[in-house]
Amino acid sequence: MKEIRIGGKTIGEGRPCFIIAEIGTAHHGDPKTAEALVKAAAEAGADCVKTQVVFADEIVHPRCGTVDLPGGKVSMYERFRQLETGVEFYRGLKARTEAQGLVFLASAFGPRSARLLREIGAPAVKIASPELNHFPLLDEVKNYGVPVVLSTGVSLLGDIEEALAHAPAEAALLHCVTAYPAPEEEYNLRVIPLLSRLFGLPVGVSDHSLEPCLLPAAAAAVGAAIIEKHLTLDRSGGGLDDAFALDPKNFQALVWAVRRAQEKNPAAVTRNLAQIYGKERVERMLGDGRKALAPAEAGNYATTRRSILAARDIAAGETLTAENTALLRSEKNLPPGLHPRHLPVVLGRQARHDVPSGRGITWEDL
């Protein structure tokens, strides 16, 4: 299995698990909160702090629908707009992270956020599962000369293979289930060694389940090179991911469990977990090792991933361009369009009829 290096850390088989504290947007754009999260991650023993560079227009359409938060339903687009912040915030967060001896990592959702990460000198770029088919984003990052970490939730083997054709050669994969929270019994952790053998890359897991230690320890036992888990200061803090994130105490327990698991024989770890959590529960979580869509994410395959949408109202006879189309997540409120692989064919064609803003563009529209 190939190794990669991110921020001075070597990731691969036989190396200590690279543990990522995913603070996401739990900082709410506040430098003091971000600093507290970084400190908590360092004290818990994480290797890396990961955030997300959010620009709403790169992710969803204004008509995409709502998201449930503790205060009630809010517009998903407007919530992303509220999370937007400038380059200096991320520059400061990177400096705070590295001052604690940790690696800085961030998700890019489109070319604009990727270029921000290049500007501040990020040592790698994370690509979330819904962006695995955002080929213009992958093509952009491919030229940066840094590794990429690709999450592979809500995807099939062919999707991963196609994405890697656009990605940098220095890459790692994260197996995950794109559901929040994700049912642990659907994680099928035996997929991790399968992906590693098939693609010759370090493979880890992005864990969205609720139990702090079970899934990470089991993933380490089957050979995960990376463990990613959300960290928050307060699970009732109102952030997009707070409800299934770990508080600092539980994140520290996760780190301890993963480190101990790597010190032991994998079979012994599995037996120990079975004694603590129950053999049937552990076996369901380990799964059959065949890569497939988990039941919790299967219904979102077309809508969570990127497709070609009308960025504004398009009139019949109008030429389709990079300005009036966009590769966005359609989510549950908008019909998805063609796969991003078809964008070069779509651009330059004329609309057969009016296409309303936000609707997916199909072959019948051309």
231-270 pLDDT, tens digit per residue, is: 999 887 777 788 899 999 999 999 999 999 999 999 999 9
Average pLDDT, the chain: 96
**pLDDT tens digits, one per residue of 32-48:** 999 999 999 999 999 99
Percent pLDDT > 70 in the chain is 98
Nearest one of 349, 291, 304 to 324, comparing CA atoms: 349
List Cβ neighbours of 333 (8 Å cut-off, separation of 6 or more).
63, 64, 65, 66
List Cβ neighbours of 185 (8 Å cut-off, separation of 6 or more).
281, 284, 285
Query: Which pLDDT band holds residue 70 (cuts at 50, 70, 90)?
Result: low
Q: What angle do CA 163, 165, 166 make, to 5 degrees?
A: 70
Region of residue 101 (left: phi > 0; alpha: psi -120 to 50; beta: else): left
Domains annotated for the chain, with CATH where assigned, are: 4-296 (3.20.20.70), 305-365 (3.90.1210.10)
pLDDT value of residue 108: 98
Across-strand partners of 206?
A: 176, 228
Report the pLDDT averaged over residues 312-321: 98
H or E element in which residue 309 lies? strand 306-310
pLDDT value of residue 185: 97
pLDDT value of residue 71: 63
Percent pLDDT > 90 in the chain is 92
**Residue 225 pLDDT greater than 90, yes or no:** yes
- Please state, as a whole number, how many other Cβ atoms lie within 10 Å of the Cβ of residue 329: 24
pLDDT value of residue 69: 63
The pairs formed by 111-114 with CB atoms below 8 angstroms and a separation of 24 or more are: 111/58, 111/136, 111/137, 111/140, 112/55, 112/58, 113/53, 113/54, 113/55, 113/58, 114/140, 114/141, 114/144
**pLDDT tens digits, one per residue of 20-32:** 999 999 998 999 9
Window from 68-82, 270-284, 330-344 with minimum mean pLDDT: 68-82
**pLDDT tens digits, one per residue of 330-359:** 998 999 999 999 999 999 999 999 999 999
pLDDT value of residue 235: 81
Window from 66-70, 77-81, 219-223 with minimum mean pLDDT: 66-70
Running DSSP on this structure, what letter comes out for residue 327? Answer: E
**pLDDT tens digits, one per residue of 117-134:** 999 999 999 999 999 999
Distance between CA 350 and CA 366 in Å, rounded?
6
